[in-house]
Structure 1
Amino acid sequence: MLSELLDRLERLDHLIRHKSTGTPNQLAVRLNISERTLYGFLSEMRELGAPIKYSRSKQTYYYGTKGQFQLRFYEN
């Protein structure tokens, strides 16, 4: 269950970085979650420092500054 959550958050980060999320409804469908859950994920990511914004004209979420959200341990 935790790995499924991490996979969704990593996919969400990927889509945000590539500015290819679509509308909130479309994004929730892509991630196989409810819009309410999506808004919860976005809120948590923002609280952890992710500068997530939404462009109404392009209909996508994006990061206000260059970067990415990392959720796993990576050995150096």
Structure 2
Amino acid sequence: MEFKDKIELIKKFDYYVRNKSTGSPSNLAKKLGTSESTVFRIKDIIESMGGKLEYCSKVESYRYKKAGNLLLGFEESDH
């Protein structure tokens, strides 16, 4: 998998988390078209960047413990 594809996978993971629609890790793996072990690796990557996650069995979704934004990409500036 190319680096940009990995970034897109992380962005999709984040999208499902923010929308509280990840489902179980196995369901999320299906949504992302990847394996459950990759889901856990992505979770670890996001947590290493400061985005602490928890699984809520009530809504059956991962969620961020604190509000915030995951920023991945290039933003042009005037400088």
Q: TM-score, normalised on structure 1?
A: 0.91
- Structure 1 alignment gaps of length 5 or more: none
Cα deviation for residue 57 of structure 1 reads: 1.6
Task: Report 1 or 2 for greater relative contact order, CA contacts < 8 Å, sequence distance ≥ 6.
Answer: 1
1:59 aligns to 2:49 (yes or no): no
The number of equivalent residue pairs is 76
Moved >3 Å (runs of 4+): none
What secondary structure, in the 3-state scheme, does the structure 1 residue paired with 2:26 have? helix
Give the partner amino acid of 1:72.
G
> What is the TM-score of this pair, normalised by structure 2?
0.88
RMSD: 1.0
Unaligned runs of 5+ in 2: none
Determine the C-alpha separation between the residues in 1 that align with 2:15 and 2:76: 20
